[in-house]
Amino acid sequence: MHRAGSVSRRFAPVVAAVCVGLAALSTPVRAAELRDGTPVLVRLVGVINSEITTTGKPLRFVVTRAVVDDRGGVLIRRGTVVAGVVRQARRPRWGFTTRKPRLVFTFTVTTARDGQVVMLRESAVRPPDPRDRGVVIDRYERGHQIRWASGADVFQAYVDGTYEM
């Protein structure tokens, strides 16, 4: 003969497990978010300089450290290609008028782990005027007569916009 109390005690763990399972199913899974201004460390592939590089030249960078979310999930993989472009390349000129060399480039896009195109910019905050964008290469303002960057140089790009993965 079974008593009602003993049956409910036997099934109590099962009922509790079912309730926890249902609660877990009803909780929405939060998508990973790549936030605006997230830093992305990149390294230039190749060499650019103010002597032979031309304005508009496409550039290639690679991500040197994976970008991860708060839970440790990878959002942008290490080794992912980053595209950029030379905005301004100017050779020095001496003579009646002197012109200093100038070398400026911008980051454009990369790809997230899910294949989504991610726009990049050069600073943590978006400049008010898009014409003010760019990384100016000046080798510590030492007055060199040539501006250059190579594969030994690491730069910091920033995510432009917020993306859900």
| Residue 102 structural domain | 34-164
% of the chain surpassing 90 pLDDT: 47
Query: Averaged over 66-92, what is the pLDDT?
Result: 93
**CATH code for position 156:** 2.40.128.260
3 inside domain: no
Pick the most confident of 5-14, 85-94, 101-110, 145-154.
Answer: 101-110
* 4: helix, strand or coil: helix
Tally of domains within the chain:
1
Instruction: Report the distance separating Cα 111 and Cα 147, nearest Å.
Output: 29
| Burial environment of residue 51 by CB neighbours within 10 A (0 to 12, 13 to 18, 19 or more) | middle
82 inside domain: yes
50 inside domain: yes
pLDDT at residue 103, rounded to an integer: 87
